[in-house]
Amino acid sequence: MHILLAEDDLRLGPLIVHMLGKEGHAVDWVKDGIEALDYMETTSYDLVILDWMMPRMDGVTLCRRIRMDSYSGGIIILTAKDTLNDRIHGLDAGADDYIMKPFEFTELFARIRSLSRRIAQVIQDEWIEMGSYQLLVNERSLACRDKKLGLTIREFQLIELLMRNCGKVLPRQVLIDRIWGFDTDVNSNTLDALVKQLRKKLECTTGGMRINNIRGTGYKLEVADVCSDE
C-alpha cells in the first residue's frame, strides 16, 4: 500500500516509516497537517495515518478536510485521547479506525491489514439499487436522486450490510464482526457512533431511508415503499 503518515513526533515518525517499510508498504512522512494536504494534492494514497495533535492543522481537522475533498481511501487516527467522546469525534470526522498511543506495531499492522481487506471487499457489484437510492460500489458513494453522498470505508460497509438485508434486524454483534472483524475489541458504543454519523448523511436525502434502532437487539434499515413496516 502507498501510505501517507502525518506525525510530528521526530522519534516516532521515522520509526513508523521504518516498520511499515519492513511490511512492504511505501510511506511518505510529513510533520504537520498543511504539509499533508500539499502531498495529497499531487499523490494518490491508499491509506492516510494521522496523528491527532499536530501543528498548523490537527489530525481530526485534516481528516474532515480531506473527506470533504472526496478522498475515499482509508484513514487511521493515532491519538492519546481515550474518552468515548474523543473516539466519536474522530469517527464523525471521517476516520475509519483509531489507535491509542502508545501502541504496539503488531496492532498497527493488524489494523492496516483489516482495513485493506475491507477496501478490497468493497469492489464487488457495480451498484445496489433500492427505491430512489443507488449504492455505487466503485465510487463508494450513496446516490439519491440528484444527491450523492461520499462514504468512509466503514460507513460503506454498514450501509451495504443494511441494504442487502433491508427490513431485517441485524444484531449488533453481527454488524461489529462483519465491519471490524471477529478478533476486534470494538464495542457497541463504536457501532453506535458509526450509525450516528451515517444517519447524519442520510438526513440530507429525500428517499425515505432510515436506520432504526431495535432496542436490545440491533439495527434495521427501512426505505419508503421498499422495505418498511409502515
Segment 108-163, tens digit of pLDDT: 999 898 888 766 655 455 678 888 999 987 778 899 988 889 888 889 989 998 99
Q: What is the per-residue pLDDT across 51-97, written as a single tens digit (0 to 9) for each?
A: 999 998 999 999 989 888 778 788 999 988 766 677 777 777 888 88
Q: What are the φ/ψ torsions at residue 89 (nearest 5 degrees)?
A: -60, -45
Residue 115 and residue 37 share a domain: yes
Residue 24 belongs to domain with CATH number: 3.40.50.2300
- Give the torsion sign (CA, 16, 17, 22, 27): positive
* Domain that includes residue 27, residue range: 2-121
Distances (CA, A) of 137 to 3, 14, 99: 22, 35, 27
Pairing of strands 127-130, 97-100: unpaired
CA distance 160 to 137: 9
How many independent structural domains does the chain possess? 2
Amino acid at 186: V
Is residue 126 in a domain? no
49 against 91, higher pLDDT: 49
Is residue 129 in a domain? no
CA distance 125 to 3: 26
Is residue 20 in a domain? yes
Residue 182 belongs to domain with CATH number: 1.10.10.10
CA distance 156 to 64: 17
Amino acid at 44: S
C-alpha cell at 109: 499492522
The DSSP symbol for 45 reads -
Residue 180 and residue 110 share a domain: no
